[in-house]
Amino acid sequence: MARINDNYLKLKAGYLFPEIGRRVREFTDANPSAKVIRLGIGDVTLPLVPAVIKAFHAAVDDLAKGETFHGYGPEQGYSWLIDTIIDKAYKPLGVSLKTSEMFISDGSKCDCSNILDIFDNANVVAIGDPVYPVYNDTNVMVGRTGEADEKGYYENIVYLPCTAENDFSPAFPKEKVDIIYLCSPNNPTGTVTTREQLKGWVDFARKNDAIIFFDAAYEAFITESDIPRSIYEIDGAKECAIEFRSFSKTAGFTGVRCGLTVVPENLLATTAKGEKVALNKLWNRRQSTKFNGVSYPVQKAAQAVYSDEGWPQVKEVIDYYMDNARIIREGLTAAGIQCFGGVNAPYIWLKTPEGMSSWDFFDKLLTECHVVGTPGSGFGPSGEGYFRLSAFGDKGNVVKAVDRIKQKWGK
């Protein structure tokens, strides 16, 4: 009989968000009049901005006429979109990229999963803890790990704990690692990697022949001018890093689907025999063979994000969310709850009051304040005792949620 990929059975069955959904349903079924405010899952709520809608419609109209119809596009993405992103989002950072170094995709989740295709399973990977679960689970699925221990740590993955004790900035791994996942601004902690810290990682990677997967999905939320938005702002990063970006949070594209990956041409890795190979060529082959490009109207809509008309509109939405983040951060701090993040990221990572476990706090917050958040322990063992609130909600609801928390925990 055909054999399955047994590695899938190593994955733990229960995923975080279904469990949250179950508990919320149970509560609302029992308390139908409760006005529950959801600050849990990291999904945007505001509509697409007018300039994006306009470009989207125009592109749909292109598909309605023979002269402007577009069939298969380049698997790598249209050069007009790539060049716009390079020009508007990278050049201002002092980063120059070639068109052939950027690949448009249908989202960062796909890219940071699929990138593993071009690497051998013998590579040792290091990931943060807590972490975006996709980094961990996709490595389990390709067979790079052993089984999970009782804490949830998989054999052969090097975990880098990020807690208040180390200011969410982990020490360099002591083991030899080949691939390092970094995410800044960080999901779930909302904290950022400073320029000096990032330089430390680039230097470490180059010295130790490792490759960094840099997830910059939240770079648009950075408000402090000295925080790097791209790893390529650091000298030498083009020789050691792949960068992922997304339109999902930047421009509300969670339901529209567009992201991108940068694989610099000078980035090399080796064959079993030790010959050096350009990863750009391998990723290009992967995408050409297993992917057919992003929807044409979606690419046109994405281009409009960076237009003269579009960007100020997009920025206004980002500012709205970041004002929510401020309200949450300041409100919780006033209630005596210790908060992290929320300055350069749409997530607030809080230390649960009274030493509660993440899930105990979840239940208390749900049943007593009617507010839904995300238990930190769902992102990894080092998230225990922490809790994530998202700033993507409606401002009125955010204010109400914070008031309820203050009433409950405020001194």
Among 28, 79, 100, 113, binds its own copies (CB under 8 A): 113
| Amino acid letter for position 366 | L
Among 20, 37, 39, 48, binds its own copies (CB under 8 A): 48
- Helix or strand run (H / E) with residue 17: helix 16-30
With CB under 8 A as the contact rule, the residue among 166, 266, 270, 367 that binds its own copies is 270
> Is residue 239 near its own copies by the rule CB under 8 A?
no
When the beta carbons of 158 and 294 are compared against its own copies, the nearer one is 294
CB of 44 within 8 A of CB of 248? yes
Binding residues for its own copies restricted to 161-200, rule: CB under 8 A: 178-179
DSSP-derived secondary structure letter, 148: B
Taking each helix axis from N to C end, the angle separating 296-305 and 310-334, rounded to the nearest 10 degrees, works out to 70
Residues from 281 through 340 that contact its own copies (CB under 8 A): 282, 285-286, 288-298
Q: How far is the CB of 385 from its own copies (least distance, A)?
A: 26
The one among 107, 341, 380, 383 contacting its own copies by CB under 8 A:
107
* C-alpha–C-alpha distance, residues 314 and 317, integer Å: 5
| Number of residues this chain uses to bind its own copies (CB under 8 A) | 80
- Binding to its own copies in span 361-380, by CB under 8 A: none
Q: Which of residues 55-94 bind its own copies (CB under 8 A)?
A: 56-57, 60-61, 63-66, 69-73
DSSP for 57-90 reads HHHHHHTTSGGG---S--TT--HHHHHHHIIIII
Q: How far is the CB of 67 from its own copies (least distance, A)?
A: 9
Q: How far is CA 234 from CA 84, 112, 195, in A?
A: 22, 21, 8
Smallest distance, Å, CB 65 to its own copies?
6
Residue 173 corresponds to which tokens in the numbers above? 């791994």
Task: Please pick, from the candidates 47, 146, 312, 336, the single residue that binds its own copies as defined by CB under 8 A.
Answer: 47
- Choose the binding region for its own copies from 90-98, 277-285, 323-331, 334-342 (rule: CB under 8 A): 277-285
Looking at the Cβ atoms of 178 and 219, the one nearer to its own copies is: 178
Q: Which is nearer to its own copies, 141 or 399 (CB)?
A: 141
Sign of CA dihedral 297, 346, 215, 265: positive
Instruction: Report phi then psi at 224, rounded to 5.
Output: -85, 130
Touching its own copies, residues 194-223 (CB under 8 A): 209-211
Residue choice 36, 110, 164, 399 for contact with its own copies (CB under 8 A): 110
CB of 293 to its own copies, least distance (A): 7
Residues 261, 244 contacting (CB under 8 angstroms):
yes
Q: Which of 19, 43, 233, 360 binds its own copies (CB under 8 A)?
A: 43
Nearer to its own copies, 352 or 374 (CB): 374
CA gap 78, 300 in Å, rounded? 9
- Give the footprint of its own copies on residues 13-42 (CB under 8 A): 15, 41
Residue 85 identity (one-letter amino acid): I
**Nearest residue to 9 (alpha-carbon basis) of 164, 198, 137:** 137
- Of the two residues 192 and 212, which places its CB atom closer to its own copies in the complex? 212
Cα-based distances in Å from 329 to 305, 340, 403, 405 = 28, 8, 12, 12
Least CB distance to its own copies at residue 354 (A): 33
Total Cβ atoms within 10 A of residue 308: 8
Q: Please, which residue, 294 or 337, has the CB nearer to its own copies?
A: 294
The secondary structure element, H or E, covering residue 386 is: strand 386-390
> 304: closest CA among 44, 111, 69, 85?
85
Indicate the residue among 270 and 338 with the shorter CB distance to its own copies: 270
Q: Which of residues 243-262 bind its own copies (CB under 8 A)?
A: 252, 254-257
Please pick, from the candidates 2, 32, 175, 226, the single residue that binds its own copies as defined by CB under 8 A.
Answer: 2
Residues ≥6 apart with Cβ < 8 Å to 357:
377, 384, 385
| For residue 312, cis peptide bond before it (omega within 30 degrees of 0) | no
Q: Which stretch binds its own copies (CB under 8 A): 107-115, 157-165, 310-318, 328-336?
A: 107-115
Q: Which of 272, 355, 396, 411 is in the footprint of its own copies by CB under 8 A?
A: 272
Enter the tokens of residue 375. Answer: 């238990």
Distance of CA 243 to CAs 33, 206, 239, 259, 360, Å? 46, 16, 12, 11, 36
Cβ contacts of residue 19 below 8 Å, gap of 6+?
378
Options 100, 114, 169, 357; binder of its own copies; rule CB under 8 A: 114
* Binding track, positions 117-146, relative to its own copies; x by CB under 8 A: xxxx-xx----------x--xx--x-----
